[in-house]
Amino acid sequence: MNRNSRMIRIAAAGGLLLALGLLAACAAEPPATKAEPGAVVDPGTADPTAPVETPTVRITIPAGGAKVPAGTVTVAVETTGLEFVMPGGTNVAGQGHVHFSLDGGPIVMSVEKEAELKDVAPGTHTLVAELVQNDTESFSPPIEQEIEFVVE
């Protein structure tokens, strides 16, 4: 074997190793990117299978069974797993707001965890607090809590 043929074989082997290395690098999946709810992420790098925390809601004011004075009633919730934002646009996982409803009446939408219900008459009332997505659609299944309280 002469020197030129040995050099050709070495060059061919090196080229083959380089090609295999490039092929392996191209076939490797990029690392998954996880983001906090509400974070802006390049869709090309986001992991669509990354779990999003299921939101929760709990009415804190008034407490179930509480007695409150007639007139304006303050209502409040504690939540987890949901960034409160103004409604609108396409659904973004982990973003939304709360809908309060008294006795099945009109919805009071709030991007805060507290709202005021005006002119509440004496009697027993049912309050529902439902978390909804930023596009105003209910979660499936709905995320809500219902309590009864008394206005004196």
Lowest-confidence segment of 28-37, 55-64, 81-90 by average pLDDT: 28-37
pLDDT digits (tens, 9 = 90+) for 114-132: 999 999 999 999 999 999 9
What is the signed CA dihedral for 102, 125, 148, 129, rounded to 10 degrees? 0
DSSP 40: -
Residue 95 CB contacts under 8 Å (≥ 6 apart), including other chains: 37, 38, 82, 83, 84, 85, 133, 134
pLDDT tens digits for 2-36? Answer: 555 554 454 444 444 444 444 444 444 444 434 44
Grouping H, G, I as helix, E, B as strand and the rest as coil, residue 51 is: coil
The domain that holds 74 is classified in CATH as: 2.60.40.10
Overall domain count for the chain: 1
Residue 96 lies in a domain: yes
The model's pTM is 0.67
In a domain, 5, yes or no: no
| Rounded distance between C-alpha atoms, residue 42 and residue 54, angstroms | 23
